[in-house]
Amino acid sequence: MKNSILLILVTISLFRCANVPIPRNLDMKDLGILEAKDVTPLVIKALEQCKEQGISKLTFPKGTYHFYPTFAPDFYCAITNNDNGLKRTAFPLIGFDGLEIDGGGSEFIFHGKMLPFIIEESSNLKVTNFSLDWEVPFFLQGEVIDNDPVNKTFDIHVVTPHKLDNGHLYMSLEREDSPYERKYGYKFTQQEKYDQMVGQNIIWDASTKAPLYAHNRYSSFDTHHFPASQINENLVRLETSYKETPPVGSVFVSKGEYLFNRQNPAFRVFKTKNLLLNNVTVHHAGGMGLIAERSENITLDGFNVMLKEGSGRYITSTADATHFCNCKGLVTIKNCTFENMLDDATNIHGTYVRVNKILADDQVAVETYHPHQNDYLFGEVGDSIQVIDQKTLLPTREPLVIKNIKRVNEKISILTFSESVKGSVSVYDGIENITWHAAALIENNIIRNNRARGLLISTPRKVEVRNNYISSQMAAFRITGDLGLWNESGPCDSLIIENNKIENCVYSGIPQSVFQIDPQYESKKYIEGAYSRNIFIRNNEIRTFDASILKAMSVDGLYFQGNDIIQTDTYLPLFPNKPNLEIINCKNVKTDGNTYRLLSGDKGELSVKTDSAIQ
Amino acid sequence: MKNSILLILVTISLFRCANVPIPRNLDMKDLGILEAKDVTPLVIKALEQCKEQGISKLTFPKGTYHFYPTFAPDFYCAITNNDNGLKRTAFPLIGFDGLEIDGGGSEFIFHGKMLPFIIEESSNLKVTNFSLDWEVPFFLQGEVIDNDPVNKTFDIHVVTPHKLDNGHLYMSLEREDSPYERKYGYKFTQQEKYDQMVGQNIIWDASTKAPLYAHNRYSSFDTHHFPASQINENLVRLETSYKETPPVGSVFVSKGEYLFNRQNPAFRVFKTKNLLLNNVTVHHAGGMGLIAERSENITLDGFNVMLKEGSGRYITSTADATHFCNCKGLVTIKNCTFENMLDDATNIHGTYVRVNKILADDQVAVETYHPHQNDYLFGEVGDSIQVIDQKTLLPTREPLVIKNIKRVNEKISILTFSESVKGSVSVYDGIENITWHAAALIENNIIRNNRARGLLISTPRKVEVRNNYISSQMAAFRITGDLGLWNESGPCDSLIIENNKIENCVYSGIPQSVFQIDPQYESKKYIEGAYSRNIFIRNNEIRTFDASILKAMSVDGLYFQGNDIIQTDTYLPLFPNKPNLEIINCKNVKTDGNTYRLLSGDKGELSVKTDSAIQ
């Protein structure tokens, strides 16, 4: 004790008297975090101090901290595949180089509409040791406690904040209290999307905590608008035009209104290099868990998107757990668990822009179409790009370089090429940025119980996916690309998928394959040439109840080898007559060394359908 | 002729050879405007040229020009009393000093979501000689061709673009065509608010082209959501919970969804000094005709918000014709016609911010509440301000100066006063910016057939309103101020209303007075002291079918003198038992020299109710 005091005194006097660097660590305890009800302003202050003083580590004493939006700074963020807008944040990690944030094993609880971490124009960051959750979730959840198949109604016991208004059910988000809010708030909540009409829905299986098997029975085109009536306080009757009414005991979940239900991802990463997220658990996000854009070398090590034990919730992120668009360098995802998302575990891709108008031999106006790509930063001067034929999805010529690019508005930019593109570009063709494609290492992860797919990989850099456990509602892997709805680029080249355990995917009721490699052509007649190259799917253990294991289209170099396929009876087969392997317009294909163990225990023979007519 | 050619040659050689200023005029004809389908990019180019070359006049050859949003630059605009967001514009008059835009008598037709004129951080501008309209309006219009009072339905023949979906009627805005739009657009139109559910409605009288008399019979709380069904192509049946069904022959109009139906004002003016809009006619705007904020010396001379003859439309602007918030210097409005707006002719006011938290003796966090005031620029360093008691609406102490102000987010700023305010400020009190209040001259204008009020004036600078014709649905004048829903400041001082002709206002069915002076107290018990001072209402001709002419509350110096009041039988009186003049908590009141001619031709006596008990 005496020595400690002495040491402190010596240290203080050293700092005071000599030209010694100031401490590089800032402890949130010293800013009074233990006494604060709303810690947002303290964290903002601490980050300002870190930047001003060149502090390299910000630490939190272990605790449960509440972050409110009231005093959170906001920034207008255009976030691909999420909703753009002014975002209030508690961690504006903007313009930092060399900072570690150590949560000390704390729980960070967010309130209302917030984007917890905005990480932009930064480098060499580490963010570690905490979990992140919201007090009030961005979804509505209720157990089905009764149903009436004849009248097509079902009754749910809603356990999340909600309202009934004008015969519709709304999920209610947390708003800040004030006398004004109490008196006038009702005028604004629906229009400001704090009350969102029950919209995109999924019914969950309470026994598996996964989406219900053959969920397409519970989908219909007008789910956005089904009438609701109050039975008693938290008991609501919903009418539906589903093919079937959801079974009693299942759990109804809705994430609100399209284009307004991805406003609050947990981590937004943009123009950042060398970022490590380690030992971070996102229990919930109103959008993606992490969305990284135009960034380089992002590592997720023990970055989980996981349910909180005992929370009773069925949903983690309301969109993808993670998503990488227009990144380069190496994306590393290891030792992570991604479960119960309302979308994919990850998606690594670029985004094609489309030619709106040809302005000169070397100049075009390009456009992004999907509203989730408004203000997408496609490229900058010096990036290599190529023109993609809108029909064949193949490059029309050798790559070019961006000589100039000027944003006109959130949809249109004027792009000047390094040379003439006369004769090799048409209106509505795609343009792909080939500088910003990432390599990836995805290993030792668990992916389970999410709606939609496991991994979506669309990058021509080397990607290794190994030692993962995957049990997703749709395909375990989707390798695609399109000049259609989403305009996601690009093809794969050197993708290795090995030693993974894949168990009972493709149970949604929509026809999919465990491995689905399907560039999306506008018409079958345009299928020609190779979209992707060198895809290795080898030595995986694939347990599946259904027939379709692989569908591959337009691959040059497809190696499906040494996989152990084991038939299960977890669910009844949905599409039992599909071929096990379906190979369309591929060349250099090998499908040897696989085993197939039938339910009976007998050795089966994989059925292969090859369609080369359209090669 | 010979001399002219010589002059031209001499002029050209002068420009070429000598160090003579280049011509100060740019003609859009020289940029090829006569051949362009979409003139937006040409105007953008011309404005760039004006700025680069110091050109002082941009002229249009007379013509009809179409402005599309495709290649329009966009800017994030926070626009008080309208909807914030990224706005595409054709006239980004940002950072100009000394420019005249002469439309040459042209018609400017806008397409889709656009904000035609963004005028910011500019000075000494003149904009003149054109009309402005939209191809597809921001409202739905349909004649009532049948009704069923028993079943509370009525059928409308819709003449504007619309859709029926899920049992509701939507107004449809113009979107840009593309193969993508044709294939996928339906996924986005409702959520991007290009299809807006029929919401805020007014029923119009086809014979007067004004709102129906006693319109409150056709309003109800759930008008936002009334069910619709298609009878045939453009014939739609609406169910309603109105007290009465609208009569056959009346015209139903809806402007879509609250907080999304003011996205497209025609002129946005911000931080601009010395602006003249002359001989400009706004036939339509999806928001206000003009909204000026934090600007100085704005003159509207022959700035009309008027129906286009032969258009068949009932609506001009979907909100106020003009609106001035936080302006100073002199606002001049003369020789204008404002008709058929869905809100007031003008409103000149400031906006109180409210104290959210007291941070130090000289520092508070202030907040704006109404979503239409998000990111409102309340003040800058050096502005004079005062603290307003939330109950009495009176200043709590002498004025102060803003020593510092820092925006935290779109709701909250941190305000540091020039001195301590300890003891004279409470949470939820108002703060008024008294530097930014404008004087005004409003003369020779016509205001008619609009929903809502004529003129709202809330400024302590000298205001003269004379020689106007006013026939508005509610009060001709409203002089108010509140720390409630809108938080509009401030009181009037030296307001002269004289020699106006006011005809048949206050026919909405909601109790109002022709002159309504009513600061909005939270409770009657807080009515004390003078809110406004020195209001002169004199020598006006007031034709009215109803009883209530003046209601004045908390005025020190109220002069209602020399007015000629003439009773009409245009409508049946709605509130015949109201006193003609109602005077509450006022002092220094004079009501002499007025005449009152009854329907019978007899001279009447104005009834006066004075309530000084609460003084």
Torsion-angle region of A278 (φ positive above 0: left; ψ -120 to 50: alpha; else: beta): beta
Share of chain B above pLDDT 70, in %: 95
Q: Which residue in chain B is spatially nearest to A406 when comparing CA positions?
A: B73
* DSSP letter, residue A454: S
Cα dihedral sign, A199-A205-A209-A213: negative
pLDDT class of A225 with cuts at 50, 70, 90: low
The SS3 assignment for B189 reads coil
Q: Give the residue among B348, B349, B347, B344 at the shortest CA–CA distance from B505.
A: B344
Q: How confident is the model at residue B13, as a pLDDT? A: 44
**Residue A395, strand partner residues:** A388
Q: How confident is the model at residue A407, as a pLDDT? A: 98
Using a CB–CB cutoff of 8 Å, tell me whether A372 touches chain B.
no
Q: B99-123 as b/e, with b when 16 or more CB fall inside 10 Å?
A: bbbbbbebbbbbbbbbbbbbbbebb
Using a CB–CB cutoff of 8 Å, tell me whether A75 touches chain B.
no
Cβ-based burial of B66 (10 A; exposed 0-12, middle 13-18, buried ≥19): middle
Could A70 and B356 be called an inter-chain contact, meaning their C-beta atoms sit closer than 8 Å? yes
- Select from A178, A225, A412 the Cβ nearest to the Cβ of B70: A412
Q: Is B1 a residue whose pLDDT tops 50?
A: no
From residue B125, alpha-carbon distances to B42, B129, B277 in Å are 20, 14, 8
Share of chain A above pLDDT 90, in %: 91
* DSSP letter, residue B264: B
CB pairs A-B closer than 8 Å? 89
Q: Is A219 a residue whose pLDDT tops 90?
A: no
CATH class held by domain B2-137+262-339: mainly beta
* DSSP letter, residue B373: G
Segment 98-127 of chain A within 8 Å of chain B by CB: none
- Averaged pLDDT, B128-138: 98
The SS3 assignment for A430 reads strand
Residues in B closer than 8 angstroms to A408, CB to CB, are 71-73
Contacts of B183 (CB under 8 A, 6+ apart): A484, A485
Q: Residue A490 in contact with residue A482, Cβ under 8 Å?
A: no
- Select from A183, A224, A371 the Cβ nearest to the Cβ of B188: A371
- Select from B88, B180, B260 the Cβ nearest to the Cβ of A369: B180
Phi, psi of B179 (to 5 degrees): -60, -35
* DSSP letter, residue B395: B
Contacts of A515 (CB under 8 A, 6+ apart): A475, A476, A477, A479, A497, A537, A549, A550, A551, A552, A560
Could A88 and B188 be called an inter-chain contact, meaning their C-beta atoms sit closer than 8 Å? no
Structure tokens at B354: 């409210």
- Select from A70, A259, A260 the Cβ nearest to the Cβ of B412: A70
* HEC profile of A349-363: EEECEEEEEEEECCE
Contacts of B91 (CB under 8 A, 6+ apart): B43, B47, B101, B116, B117, B118, B119
Q: Name the pairing type of β-strands A57-59 and A384-388.
A: unpaired
Give the number of residues written for chain B. Answer: 615
Q: Is A614 a residue whose pLDDT tops 80?
A: no
Alpha helices in B27-86, H assignment, sequence order: 40-53
Q: Residue B119 in contact with residue B275, Cβ under 8 Å?
A: yes
**Residue B264, strand partner residues:** B286
Contacts of B222 (CB under 8 A, 6+ apart): A166, B241
The SS3 assignment for A542 reads strand
Q: In whole numbers, what is the pLDDT of chain A averaged over residues?
A: 95
**How do residues B244-302 score in pLDDT, each as one tens digit?**
999 999 999 999 999 999 999 999 999 999 999 999 999 999 999 999 999 999 999 99
Domain spans in chain B, listed from the N-terminal domain onward: 2-137+262-339, 140-254, 351-433, 437-611
Residue with more model confidence, B126 or B18: B126
Q: Is A313 a residue whose pLDDT tops 50?
A: yes
Cα dihedral sign, A346-A339-A504-A220: negative
Could B356 and A188 be called an inter-chain contact, meaning their C-beta atoms sit closer than 8 Å? no
Contacts of B566 (CB under 8 A, 6+ apart): B541, B542, B543, B544, B597
Structure tokens at A67: 């972050």
Could B259 and A69 be called an inter-chain contact, meaning their C-beta atoms sit closer than 8 Å? no
**How do residues A564-577 score in pLDDT, each as one tens digit?**
999 999 999 999 99
Using a CB–CB cutoff of 8 Å, tell me whether A180 touches chain B.
yes
In order, the DSSP letters of A115-166 are -SEEEES-EEEEEEEEEEEESS-SSEEEEEEEEETTTTEEEEEE-S-EEEET
- Select from A74, A184, A411 the Cβ nearest to the Cβ of B485: A184
**How do residues B309-344 score in pLDDT, each as one tens digit?**
999 999 999 999 999 999 999 999 999 999 999 999
* DSSP letter, residue B246: P
From residue B163, alpha-carbon distances to A108, A559, B160, B196 in Å are 45, 51, 10, 9
* DSSP letter, residue B520: B
pLDDT class of A117 with cuts at 50, 70, 90: very high
Place of tokens 């020789």: B335
CA A615 to chain centre: 34
**How do residues B394-431 score in pLDDT, each as one tens digit?**
999 999 999 999 999 999 999 999 999 999 999 999 99
Q: How confident is the model at residue B224, as a pLDDT? A: 60
Q: Give the predicted TM-score (pTM) of the model.
A: 0.95
- Tell me which of A75, A180, A370, A415 to substitute to probe the interface with B (most B C-beta atoms closer than 10 Å): A180
Q: How confident is the model at residue B219, as a pLDDT? A: 77
CA distance B561 to chain A (A): 39
Q: How confident is the model at residue A189, as a pLDDT? A: 97
Using a CB–CB cutoff of 8 Å, tell me whether B184 touches chain A.
yes
pLDDT class of B615 with cuts at 50, 70, 90: very low
Using a CB–CB cutoff of 8 Å, tell me whether B191 touches chain A.
yes
Q: Is A424 a residue whose pLDDT tops 60?
A: yes
Using a CB–CB cutoff of 8 Å, tell me whether B428 touches chain A.
yes
Q: How confident is the model at residue A22, as a pLDDT? A: 59
Q: Give the residue among A254, A258, A230 at the shortest CA–CA distance from A167.
A: A230
Could B191 and A74 be called an inter-chain contact, meaning their C-beta atoms sit closer than 8 Å? no
pLDDT class of A200 with cuts at 50, 70, 90: confident
Share of chain A above pLDDT 70, in %: 95
CA distance B111 to chain A (A): 16
Using a CB–CB cutoff of 8 Å, tell me whether A167 touches chain B.
yes
pLDDT class of A2 with cuts at 50, 70, 90: very low
From residue B49, alpha-carbon distances to A406, B37, B55, B99, B390 in Å are 17, 21, 8, 12, 51
CA distance B168 to chain A (A): 10
Q: Is B540 a residue whose pLDDT tops 60?
A: yes
Residues A364, A355: Cα–Cα separation, whole Å: 7
Residues in A closer than 8 angstroms to B74, CB to CB, are 409-410
**How do residues B174-227 score in pLDDT, each as one tens digit?**
999 999 999 999 999 999 999 999 878 899 999 999 999 999 998 765 556 688
Contacts of A183 (CB under 8 A, 6+ apart): B484, B485
Could A410 and B178 be called an inter-chain contact, meaning their C-beta atoms sit closer than 8 Å? no
Q: Name the pairing type of β-strands B550-553 and B581-584.
A: parallel
Using a CB–CB cutoff of 8 Å, tell me whether B88 touches chain A.
yes
User: What is the enclosing helix (H) or strand (E) of A9?
Assistant: helix A2-17
**Residue B57, strand partner residues:** B25, B100
- Select from A73, A370, A371 the Cβ nearest to the Cβ of B409: A73
Cα of first residue to Cα of last residue in chain A, in angstroms, is 80
Q: Is A613 a residue whose pLDDT tops 70?
A: no
* DSSP letter, residue A30: G
Provide the strand spans (E) within B240-378: 251-254, 267-270, 273-282, 290-293, 296-305, 322-325, 328-334, 337-339, 346-351, 353-360, 363-367
**CA angle B91-B96-B101, nearest 5°?**
50
**How do residues A511-537 score in pLDDT, each as one tens digit?**
999 999 999 999 999 999 999 999 999
Whole-complex ipTM: 0.94
pLDDT class of B22 with cuts at 50, 70, 90: low
The SS3 assignment for B2 reads helix
Helix, strand, coil percentages for chain B (3-state, nearest 5): 10, 45, 45
Cα dihedral sign, B56-B61-B64-B70: negative
Contacts of B580 (CB under 8 A, 6+ apart): B547, B548, B549, B550, B565, B596, B606, B607, B608
Beta carbons within 10 angstroms of residue A33's beta carbon: 18
Q: Give the residue among B360, B358, B289 at the shortest CA–CA distance from B138.
A: B289
Alpha helices in A139-296, H assignment, sequence order: 179-184
- Averaged pLDDT, B303-311: 98
Structure tokens at B322: 């003009």
Structure tokens at B139: 């409202």
Residue with more model confidence, A96 or A9: A96
Q: Report the CATH number of the A351-433 domain.
A: 2.40.30.290
- Averaged pLDDT, B44-65: 97
Q: Residue B355 in contact with residue B363, Cβ under 8 Å?
A: no
- Select from B88, B166, B192 the Cβ nearest to the Cβ of A371: B192
Residues A501, A345: Cα–Cα separation, whole Å: 15
Give the number of residues written for chain A. Answer: 615
* DSSP letter, residue A341: -
Q: How confident is the model at residue A221, as a pLDDT? A: 56
**CA angle A547-A515-A437, nearest 5°?**
170
Q: How confident is the model at residue A249, as a pLDDT? A: 98
